Amino acid sequence: MMGLKITTFDWITAKEKIKRKYNHLTDEDLVFEENQEEKLINHLMAKLHRDREYVLFTLAKSLSSIESNRL
């Protein structure tokens, strides 16, 4: 399993990138509490109808270059 660590500060930007790519996701779908990465991953798996690896890849990509506007 990939060790994904998300800070609240980084999540603010990453959330906007994810919302642009998946415009059907709401703010409620993207609620994140620090140290609750697993809960977020499971929720996104259900909402996106994708497997764990895809969700982890998407989250990691959104966090990898946080200054960039691209996902």
Tally of structural domains, the chain: 1
Is residue 42 domain-resident? yes
Is residue 1 domain-resident? no
Q: What is the pLDDT of residue 1?
A: 45
Task: Give the span between the Cα atoms of 65 and 38, in whole angstroms.
Answer: 21
Is residue 2 domain-resident? no
Is residue 32 domain-resident? yes
- Name the more confident of 22 and 64: 22
| 50-69 tens-digit pLDDT | 999 999 999 999 998 766 76
Q: Provide the whole-model pTM.
A: 0.85
Is residue 70 domain-resident? no
**CB contact at 8 A, 56 and 41:** yes
Containing structural domain, residue 42: 8-64
